[in-house]
Structure 1
Amino acid sequence: MTFKYAKHALLLATVLSTACGGETAETKPPAVAPPKPAPATPPAAEADPLGPRPNVDAPPPFTPPAPTVFRTANGMTVWLLERHALPMVAIDVALPIGSTSDPAGEGGLAWATASMLDEGAGSRGALDLARAIDQLGATLGATAGTDRSGVSLFVLKRNLGPAFDLLADVVTRPRFDATEWKRVHELWTNDLKSRTREPRAVASVVASAALYGADQPYGHPVSGTLASAAKIDLARVKRFYQANWRPDQATLVAVGDVTRAELTAALDKAFAGWKAPAGPAAKVAPLAEPKGARGRLIVVDRADAPQSQITIVRPGPTVADPDAVVAGRANIALGGSFTSRLNLDLREEHGWTYGAGSRVSTMRQAGTIGLSSAVHTENTGDAVKAMLNDAEVYATKGLTPAEVDLTRMMARVDVVQAYEHVASTATLLGNDAALGLPATYEAEAALRRDSATKADLDRVAQRYFHPKDAIVVIVGPQAKVLSQLAQVEGLPKPEFFDAEGNPRAAK
């Protein structure tokens, strides 16, 4: 190739290299940094035509109003809370008698007595009484609990007069018809049989018997047992009513669209004939020191159950303990809400259960702290370990600042909800009256609950929620859970109970 043609070939190669993106050392452009983007200029805020917004303080806590208190000529106490926004009235006649008043061996007597009050009263049989209540658009019912019995009424203001007469018949003139008693007793027995097949109810019965002792007032269930129900006849029910349902023990709570003058006129007309029998009212015996040892593990066998019901209990505050309302607020963070530690751990984190929680039950002479959850059988041991650990960490380290704020807000909501409806307000105040609390209790409790500091909550958590002396009750397939429970450090040797709270030999 001649020099001329070689020069042309070199030129052609250079052009092709450049066209295909190639670069020679001589033609490579120098590296140039990309330009920096200009800082974004935020858009100017539009002026509010109404002017600057004011700083709004946090809303104050709701302080429940206290009812007006007076007495009738026959010795009955009356609590009246007037609320005239809606034409509705709720009445609750409360007495301080409940399952704690049951004679020894006759558990459920107070409950059976209350169940018979609306099965015919005055001139009406059971069906006629039910029809009369329905025609007025009212609701009326009688019930008994641990420390109280009562009759409740809810009715529109325009029907208060005739409905009040029906209420008075139920409270003061129950018929105690033998035919109705036979039906009520059969239903009662069937309900008790059904209870033995409900794991959560069984766990509650067994836990109370283990914590307080089955022979103690708080150790037997409100509705009794199959054994005690078999001993109770209509004659016993009548004697219990005569001795305990008396005006000098009763408090009538009225909430809603009714004035004192209107209520007094209705009381004088309907309750004038209700007189206290001669002699003082019976007193509930003081609670003896529970005989059951602390730190127990109890198993109730349900061989075919796909789940295990776990219930963990320990002593709590009485209703008169100043720490009771603070404990109720502290419980929100441990197990009293969906976002509580127990539910987030067992349900959200591990998926062992549909829900886990805890509650504080306060009574006249006793109190109970209870943790509970129904878990998949194969997770029983892990769930027990987690629940005990969650409670121990909570009691030892206390609440986080976020939990302090959350429990305050949720406790405020609970108070407001309790006073939203006249019926729930009447029930709440009726409970207070039956427990011997003053009419100002709810206002004082709301202030104490809301003003509790982190130090107050931590102290109560340490006092009541630590599981070191707790009783653990498992209702589930014994053959599948015992080996799991043996792996949980610190659990004592298991004991075995039946569904009615009676100890039994190991299988």
Structure 2
Amino acid sequence: MNYKKILSLLLVLLGIFIAETSIAQEYKLPPYQKFVLKNGLTVYLMEQPEVPTISVSVIMPAGAIYDGQKAGLASLTATALKHGTKNYTKTKLDEELDFIGAGVGSFATKEYAGLSASFAARDQQKVLGIINELLTVPTFDTAEFTKEKRRTIDRLEQAKESPRNIIGGEFDQFLFGNHVYGNIVTGTTESVSALTANDIRQFYTENYIPNGSAIAIAGDFKTADMKARVTKIFSGWKKGSKKTSDLSAKPIEKPAANRVLLINKDDAKETTFYIGAPGVSRNNPDFVAIEVINTLFGGRFTSMLNDELRVNTGLTYGASSRFSPLKNGGSFAITTFTATQNTEAAIDKSLEVLKKLHEQGVDEKSLTSAKNYVKGQFPPRYETSGQLAALLTQMYWYGFDESFINNFQAKVDGLNLSRAKEIIGTYFPKDKLQFVLVGKSADIKKIVQKYGSITEMEISSRLR
């Protein structure tokens, strides 16, 4: 009897495993409808009736690449969007949203500005109306702007105390140089201090336009009803007269040699560093394969990098690598931190692991493990209406379609050792590396000279 019970239990567990594996392999993007309003606004609607909520994602060509000489302008404009509208003061707006339990947020990234919202399905008319007001008739109250500007400057000053808060922006600026991808999204204390309320009003007028923008709505609604509602509410958003050019389309100048940016922090007890190079665009046809190999190399706790730098040598509490894809390019970076006295050992070990990846490649066991990990992480990314709405606007911005989702598992499964070797050789850098370090220069300058020509700066004085 015991043997029968054990056998039955094993069969049940096997059935669950097979079912879960099948579900993961067969994951498809739920159906959606896409249409364009007369003002040029692209709309995505996806029914998700399981939970009585609705999520909204809006994306607009108004990111930091359009800052020009006014670093931080896109970010401050996005934040100020919620400071009041024609019919709502900031206080009234906050109270209205709080009363119905709705969340609305605005933000800017390097390439685009965005707005996200989540609310009960019963409140869709009210919240969609508020979103429309935020997008079309914000007031950019001067008093609120002054307070937000002060808060932003304070955050930027505080960030200088944490190398991990500032090194990403400095790495991008060092890597991309004069290309707009080098723009620091948050700006600097100096650049933000110089911004005025009129600056953000002008930036809004030029860049917050429906043509070139998209809104995605996912949740508990009927598509026909929502299409009529969205058309009525958002058709009044006036089409922009200025055609926003894609400033990021300019070719990215690739580094000609190894270089080092050494950012001095006199009281630093650790060295935080990035080692990187230009990466790939989001619509790269090898995006999935790159993700798998990077997972193996530095994208999870049991990665090659973390095993060597944390587990085997104890040089750091964690080391990782990442590709940061954008519309027209991107970056690759190895990132970690270590005690000052271990700076050279940690950098050398990072380079050693990268060299090993190129020279020895990966084996079948580790590749299979990485593929299973990536497949296991994939469906949970797109479970909620908020995640799905955000995905739809990402599809719009980066120019990929549902085939990326629907064929993801197959592309992962199709990656073999031969193709993995090609991916490593094509996309993972092995020379002309860019090093950015934040630490005590007096203790590490002589050490890091061997990695490339050095540019020095103080953490208290951000570039540009």
Instruction: State the TM-score, normalizing by the size of structure 2.
Output: 0.91
Name the SS of the counterpart of 1:399 in structure 2.
Answer: coil
Taking the aligned partners of 1:260 and 1:83, their CA distance within structure 2 comes to 10
Contact 2:71 2:186 in 1 (8 A): yes
Give the match for residue 350 of structure 1.
313
Residue identity matched to 2:44: W
Residue identity matched to 1:300: I
Give the match for residue 20 of structure 1.
none
Taking the aligned partners of 2:84 and 2:367, their CA distance within structure 1 comes to 51
Taking the aligned partners of 1:177 and 1:258, their CA distance within structure 2 comes to 35
More helix by share: 2
- TM-aligned CA deviation for residue 466 of structure 1: 3.2
Taking the aligned partners of 1:46 and 1:309, their CA distance within structure 2 comes to 57
Taking the aligned partners of 2:192 and 2:257, their CA distance within structure 1 comes to 29
Give the match for residue 145 of structure 1.
109
Taking the aligned partners of 1:427 and 1:52, their CA distance within structure 2 comes to 40
Alignment map for 1:78-93 (pairs within 5 Å): 78-93=43-58
Give the match for residue 209 of structure 1.
173
Residue identity matched to 1:375: T
Give the match for residue 398 of structure 2.
435
Taking the aligned partners of 1:285 and 1:50, their CA distance within structure 2 comes to 60
| Deviation larger for 230-239 or 367-376 | 230-239
CA gap 1:196/1:293 in 2 versus in 1, 3 angstroms: farther
- TM-aligned CA deviation for residue 145 of structure 1: 0.4
Taking the aligned partners of 1:167 and 1:74, their CA distance within structure 2 comes to 17
| Deviation larger for 158-167 or 137-146 | 158-167
Counterpart selection for 1:284 from 240, 247, 258: 247
Indicate whether 1:270 and 2:233 are aligned: yes
- TM-aligned CA deviation for residue 129 of structure 1: 0.6
- TM-aligned CA deviation for residue 81 of structure 1: 1.9
- TM-aligned CA deviation for residue 74 of structure 1: 3.0
Contact 2:159 2:166 in 1 (8 A): yes
- TM-aligned CA deviation for residue 450 of structure 1: 4.2
Taking the aligned partners of 1:366 and 1:224, their CA distance within structure 2 comes to 21
Give the match for residue 26 of structure 1.
none
| Deviation larger for 92-101 or 60-69 | 60-69
1:367-395 CA-partner distances (Å, limit 9, x unpaired): 11111111111111100000011111113
Counterpart selection for 1:128 from 82, 89, 92: 92
Give the match for residue 368 of structure 2.
405
| Deviation larger for 339-348 or 456-465 | 456-465
Indicate whether 1:251 and 2:251 are aligned: no
CA gap 1:249/1:118 in 2 versus in 1, 3 angstroms: same
Residue identity matched to 1:382: A
Contact 2:260 2:451 in 1 (8 A): yes
Counterpart selection for 1:219 from 169, 182, 186: 182
Name the SS of the counterpart of 1:424 in structure 2.
Answer: helix
Taking the aligned partners of 1:100 and 1:150, their CA distance within structure 2 comes to 14
| Deviation larger for 166-175 or 421-430 | 421-430
Taking the aligned partners of 1:288 and 1:419, their CA distance within structure 2 comes to 33
Indicate whether 1:341 and 2:301 are aligned: no
1:198-234 CA-partner distances (Å, limit 9, x unpaired): 2013321221121110x32011211222232233222
Instruction: State the TM-score, normalizing by the size of structure 1.
Output: 0.84
- TM-aligned CA deviation for residue 295 of structure 1: 1.0
1:456-499 CA-partner distances (Å, limit 9, x unpaired): 2222122222332211111111122234435xxx6224321333
Alignment map for 1:358-397 (pairs within 5 Å): 358-397=321-360
CA gap 1:223/1:446 in 2 versus in 1, 3 angstroms: farther
Residue identity matched to 2:386: A
Give the match for residue 242 of structure 1.
205
1:441-468 CA-partner distances (Å, limit 9, x unpaired): 4334554344322222222122222332
Alignment map for 1:139-218 (pairs within 5 Å): 139-213=103-177, 215-218=178-181
CA gap 1:419/1:51 in 2 versus in 1, 3 angstroms: closer
- TM-aligned CA deviation for residue 46 of structure 1: 4.9
Name the SS of the counterpart of 1:276 in structure 2.
Answer: coil
CA gap 1:44/1:117 in 2 versus in 1, 3 angstroms: closer
CA gap 1:294/1:191 in 2 versus in 1, 3 angstroms: farther
Taking the aligned partners of 2:256 and 2:199, their CA distance within structure 1 comes to 34
- TM-aligned CA deviation for residue 311 of structure 1: 0.9
Name the SS of the counterpart of 2:317 in structure 1.
Answer: strand
Give the match for residue 72 of structure 1.
37
Give the match for residue 421 of structure 1.
384
Give the match for residue 36 of structure 1.
none
Taking the aligned partners of 2:307 and 2:120, their CA distance within structure 1 comes to 43
1:385-414 CA-partner distances (Å, limit 9, x unpaired): 000111111133222212211221221223
Q: Give the aligned CA root-mean-square deviation in angstroms.
A: 2.5
Residue identity matched to 1:89: I
Paired residue total: 456
- TM-aligned CA deviation for residue 501 of structure 1: 5.0
- TM-aligned CA deviation for residue 257 of structure 1: 1.2
Taking the aligned partners of 2:362 and 2:186, their CA distance within structure 1 comes to 37
Taking the aligned partners of 1:380 and 1:320, their CA distance within structure 2 comes to 36
Name the SS of the counterpart of 1:378 in structure 2.
Answer: helix
| Deviation larger for 375-384 or 61-70 | 61-70
Give the match for residue 63 of structure 1.
28
Runs of 5+ in structure 2 lacking a partner? Answer: none
| Deviation larger for 105-114 or 271-280 | 271-280
Name the SS of the counterpart of 2:211 in structure 1.
Answer: helix
Taking the aligned partners of 1:229 and 1:290, their CA distance within structure 2 comes to 28
Structure 1 vs Structure 2: percent identity of aligned residues?
23
Indicate whether 1:307 and 2:270 are aligned: yes
Taking the aligned partners of 1:397 and 1:442, their CA distance within structure 2 comes to 31
Contact 1:109 1:237 in 2 (8 A): yes
CA gap 1:290/1:126 in 2 versus in 1, 3 angstroms: same
Contact 2:252 2:329 in 1 (8 A): no
- TM-aligned CA deviation for residue 64 of structure 1: 2.9
- TM-aligned CA deviation for residue 293 of structure 1: 4.0
Contact 1:398 1:462 in 2 (8 A): no
CA gap 1:494/1:121 in 2 versus in 1, 3 angstroms: same
Taking the aligned partners of 2:336 and 2:7, their CA distance within structure 1 comes to 55
CA gap 1:439/1:111 in 2 versus in 1, 3 angstroms: farther
Counterpart selection for 1:478 from 437, 441, 447: 441
Indicate whether 1:452 and 2:415 are aligned: yes
Counterpart selection for 1:495 from 455, 458, 464: 455
Contact 2:110 2:183 in 1 (8 A): no
- TM-aligned CA deviation for residue 436 of structure 1: 3.3
- TM-aligned CA deviation for residue 78 of structure 1: 0.9
Residue identity matched to 1:436: G
CA gap 1:338/1:75 in 2 versus in 1, 3 angstroms: same
Contact 1:120 1:170 in 2 (8 A): yes
CA gap 1:452/1:67 in 2 versus in 1, 3 angstroms: farther
CA gap 1:447/1:224 in 2 versus in 1, 3 angstroms: farther
Contact 1:96 1:149 in 2 (8 A): yes
